[in-house]
C-alpha cells in the first residue's frame, strides 16, 4: 500500500481530534483545518517550499527557510485531493479573511502560483513515497508527462525523475 503524507497527517489528526469531539464542535473544526495543512522541506538543501507576499498584495512561490509554527506561515500549504492528485494552496488569508485562491502550478519546467481552476492538470500533484522521502510528481497533460518538483536551493522548477535528493521532500 502506497503511503501518503497527507493521509498519514489526517489519521493522526483524527486520532487527536476524536476524543476532543465529545468536548466541543469548535475544536473539531480546528482539527479538520489542521489535517489539510502540509509543508515540504527538501531533503538535499534543507529549504522549504514557501510562498511569500508581494509588494502589490499578491503571493508568489519561493524556496527558503522553514516557518511552520502558525496556521498561516510561509511554509504551510492547504492541500486538497481528488483521491490521487493533490492541489496545494498557500495557507494565507486575504484582508477580508478569505483563503487566497492561488495554486501551486507547473507548466513545462516552470513552477509558479496562479488562480486555482478545478480540474486543471497543471495544478495537480501526485505524492510518491521513496525510501528517502516524498517526490511530488506534476500530473502534466500527456504531452509533458509527470515532471518532478525540483530545487537547486534558490529556485524551484520541474524536471524528469532522477535518483538525486533535490527532488525528494519531507
Residue 99 pLDDT > 80, yes or no? no
pLDDT tens-digit series, residues 22-76: 322 222 222 233 348 899 999 999 999 999 888 887 889 999 999 887 656 889 9
Q: What does the pLDDT look like over 100-133, one tens digit per residue?
A: 889 999 998 999 999 999 899 999 999 999 999 9
pTM equals 0.77
Strands 37-38 and 156-159: unpaired
Residues whose CB falls within 8 Å of the CB of residue 143, separated by 6 or more in sequence, listed in order: none
Q: Tell me where in the chain the CATH 2.80.10.50 domain(s) lie.
A: 38-167
Query: How is residue 83 written as a grid cell?
Result: 483521491
Q: Which CATH number fits domain 38-167: 1.20.1070.10, 2.80.10.50, 3.30.70.260, 3.40.50.300?
A: 2.80.10.50
Amino acid at each position: 500500500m502506497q503511503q501518503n503524507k497527507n493521509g498519514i497527517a489526517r489519521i493522526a489528526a483524527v486520532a487527536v481530534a476524536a476524543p476532543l469531539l465529545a468536548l466541543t464542535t469548535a475544536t473539531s473544526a480546528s482539527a479538520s483545518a489542521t489535517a489539510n495543512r502540509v509543508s515540504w522541506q527538501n531533503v538535499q538543501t534543507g529549504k522549504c517550499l514557501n510562498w511569500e507576499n508581494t509588494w502589490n498584495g499578491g503571493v508568489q512561490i519561493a524556496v527558503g527557510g522553514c516557518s511552520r509554527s502558525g496556521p498561516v506561515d510561509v511554509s504551510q500549504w492547504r492541500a486538497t485531493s481528488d483521491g490521487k492528485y493533490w492541489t496545494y494552496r498557500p495557507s494565507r488569508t486575504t484582508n477580508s479573511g478569505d483563503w487566497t485562491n492561488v495554486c501551486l502550478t507547473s507548466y513545462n519546467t516552470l513552477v509558479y502560483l496562479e488562480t486555482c481552476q478545478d480540474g486543471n492538470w497543471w495544478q495537480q500533484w501526485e505524492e510518491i513515497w521513496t525510501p528517502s522521502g516524498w517526490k511530488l510528481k506534476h500530473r502534466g497533460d500527456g504531452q509533458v508527462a509527470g515532471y518532478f518538483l525540483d530545487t537547486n536551493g534558490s529556485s524551484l522548477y520541474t524536471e524528469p525523475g532522477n535518483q538525486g535528493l533535490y527532488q525528494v521532500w519531507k
